Amino acid sequence: MECLHHHTPYASWRLRVFRRLFSPSAGLSGPRNVSKHTFASSAVSQSQHQQSPVESNQHGSPKCKADSPPSANDKPVRHSQLLPQSPFLTSIHPGLAKKRKKRIPTRDDLNDLDRNPWAVALASPPRMCSATHTRVPRALMSEWGMVERPESEGLWFMPVGLLKDELASSAARKEAEPTPTSTPKPAFSVNQRLRHLTLRLVDRLPVLRMLTQAVAPHRPGRKSPAVRLFPYRWRHPIGPVTAREEKQIIWREDMPEFMLSRMRAEVLKQLKLAADKYKRPEAASGVWKAIDLNEYSEGGLLEGLKDLEPFKRMECGAVLVMGTLNVNTTAVTGPDSKDKAAFRALDALPEFVMLEQVQSEVPVFELARLFSEKELEELWAYDSRFQSPALFLRPDDKITVDAMLALWKLKGLVRHDPVYETLDDSN
């Protein structure tokens, strides 16, 4: 590295600068040591400005130099202060750093984040999917583990996160009835030795269909292909899973359909809990709001949302299209043609709509595509609010936040699945 103007090595140039700064006879040397370039620094310029009035006073009054003794407060300038200082290491205004300090969040700020479903999902720690090896927030994944069935000797690899009610009831029944009785046994029970072994998989039907084709075929007496999903620390001989248990692991052949039915039941349960929590109109202010729709289209949905009065945290909500609007068509007749027209209208709905009140996008959930006809009728009959053409749901507590995230997971489960879309079109 060389100096740009003199073409001298950097080491020689640096040595010359330090000699000028620290040598006591640097000021007595002749013009040979005077460089054409000034090595400016904030410390040197500041010291020169501070010394200039003193020198002017000394030139103005000759007696001042001889009469005024050096005061005790005058501290000698340290040699390190004469070195060039980088602005990245020294702050010109050190007091401003305290003023720019980020304030501590208040309780209201934390409450707003707790009631925001997207903030809750993204704040959950990311975990790796055992099938795709992608890292996704834990709130958007499902937990899988090994359970036992009374009529089978195998270990069934199942989504235990969606079987909490069945597993909890079986555990409570075992504690309440230590002796065997004639009562019917639960469908699933937890393997106590392996209950702590859980995996996480992304909720996507295409991924589950690929896994079912690769993992479901199992020859008796051979190691189950599902063991490939296990981490190495689980497997035999170093893990808790024995060689005999590796041969007993079973993957359902209808796992995509089973996962879809279980997740639908979970979403229905969460929606019913949210409806029960806010039954009174004054308590449901801002949580459940009916949207007037004339037709199932993007324009009709935007017109219906314009009529809503703005309220707090409106950007945290979502639109639930209930599928109860009668589609009046003159070109087609008959119940079958009317249903097809309704589904074509639902196809025209976007996945997100813009709220002009807050200039933010919110998701759109088409329940006619997420649930079966029987499940929709059960939901319509549960609460009169579910009979509206569309509802606006804004979470306000943990129950409604869980309902919103359950809807999002169900929508993500069926997204981009050609088999599910074909079944919907045929139905």
pLDDT in tens, 249-275: 999 999 999 999 999 999 999 999 999
Q: How many domains does the chain have?
A: 2
Q: Look at residue 235 and tell me if it is in a domain.
A: yes
The last residue of one of the domains, among 258, 289, 314, is: 258
Q: What angle do CA 372, 304, 281 make, to 5 degrees?
A: 75
pTM for the full predicted model: 0.70
Closest of 101, 274, 205 to residue 423, by C-alpha: 205
Q: Are residues 211 and 312 in the same domain?
A: no
The last residue of one of the domains, among 258, 276, 296, is: 258
Q: Are residues 311 and 398 in the same domain?
A: yes
Asked if residues 391 and 289 have their Cβ atoms less than 8 Å apart, the reply is yes
Q: Look at residue 312 and tell me if it is in a domain.
A: yes
* Cβ neighbours of residue 314 closer than 8 Å, sequence gap 6 or more: 308, 355, 357, 358, 360, 394
Q: Are residues 296 and 158 in the same domain?
A: no
Q: Are residues 233 and 152 in the same domain?
A: yes
Q: Look at residue 6 and tell me if it is in a domain.
A: no
Q: Are residues 251 and 266 in the same domain?
A: no
Using the predicted structure, report yes or no on whether residue 174 has a pLDDT greater than 80.
Answer: no
Q: Are residues 407 and 271 in the same domain?
A: yes
Determine how many CB atoms are found less than 10 A away from the CB of residue 13: 18
**pLDDT band for position 58 (50/70/90)?**
very low
Cα dihedral sign, 60-61-66-71: negative
> For 19-28, 288-297, 384-393, which range has the lowest pLDDT when averaged over its residues?
19-28
Q: Are residues 373 and 231 in the same domain?
A: no
Q: Look at residue 41 and tell me if it is in a domain.
A: no
Q: Look at residue 281 and tell me if it is in a domain.
A: yes
**Domain span at 135:** 127-174+191-258
Q: Are residues 266 and 218 in the same domain?
A: no
